[in-house]
Every structure is written in C-alpha cells, then in structure tokens.
Amino acid sequence: MHKSFLVWAAALGALAVVLGAFGAHKLKELVPPETVSTFQTGVTYQFYHVFALLATGILFAHVPGTQLEWAGRCFIIGIFLFSGSLYALTMLKATGSVGLRGIGIITPIGGLVFIAGWISLLMGVLKIKA
C-alpha cells in the first residue's frame, strides 16, 4: 500500500505543478481574478496534501496500520473532491457553462475528507511505539 501512496503523491505533485503553471500564466486571460484565486486555492491544497500523502506513504512503509492506510486514502480522495471541484468551478466559469454550479457543494465535503485524513494520520502516529 505504501508504494501506491508514493506513486499517487508523485503523480498528483506533478499535476499540481502543471496546474499551478497554467494558473499563473494562462488562466488570467480566461477568467476574472477571483476565479484565478479559487483555482490557486485548489492547487495550494493539492500541494499540501501531496506532501501529507508522501509522509503517510513513508510512515506506512515502516509501521503499516489501518489508520495510516485510511489517512492516505482520505488525502487522495480529498484532493479529487476539494481541489477537483475548485478546478471544475473554474472551468465552468471560463467556458461560461451553466447548470453545474451546484458542484461547489463538493468542496466542503472534500475539506471534511482532508480533516478525516489528518485525524487518521494522528491516530496512526499515536499508535507507533517509540
């Protein structure tokens, strides 16, 4: 399981760099500044949780446990829900699409999944015998 967390961390980290570069250089031409800020929030949280996933994968390699496994899963799911919904909202704004504005409800759900990941990581770390 730890290898898959490390693979996901590497792939999602690379994607965050690509999306961050797009947001910094091209997105400004397509959407208003507040939408660029929304997109940047998604990139920032993706990066934070890539590093959390990386740490979880390394810890899991040395002290595997259910809590660490769930932490990794939550970080991956949270990135897709939280950051992914912000990217989708930005895309909708850029294309002038209507109808899927309700997708914004997914963002706080992703935030709750991130919190669950951090709590799972805490529980996993507390179980480590020093």
pTM of the model: 0.93
Compute, in degrees rounded to 10, the torsion defined by CA atoms 72, 17, 39, 118. Answer: 20
Residues of the chain below pLDDT 50:
none
| Beta carbons of 85 and 33 less than 8 angstroms apart | no
Supply the range of the domain harboring residue 17.
1-127
Express the helix, strand and coil content of the chain in percent, nearest 5 each. Answer: 85, 0, 15
Split into its structural domains, the chain has a count of 1
Angle CA(91)–CA(94)–CA(99) in degrees, nearest 5?
65
Q: What is the pLDDT of residue 101?
A: 64
| Tens-digit pLDDT profile for residues 98-129 | 666 678 899 999 999 999 999 999 999 999 88
Q: What is the pLDDT of residue 94?
A: 85
Q: What is the pLDDT of residue 54?
A: 97
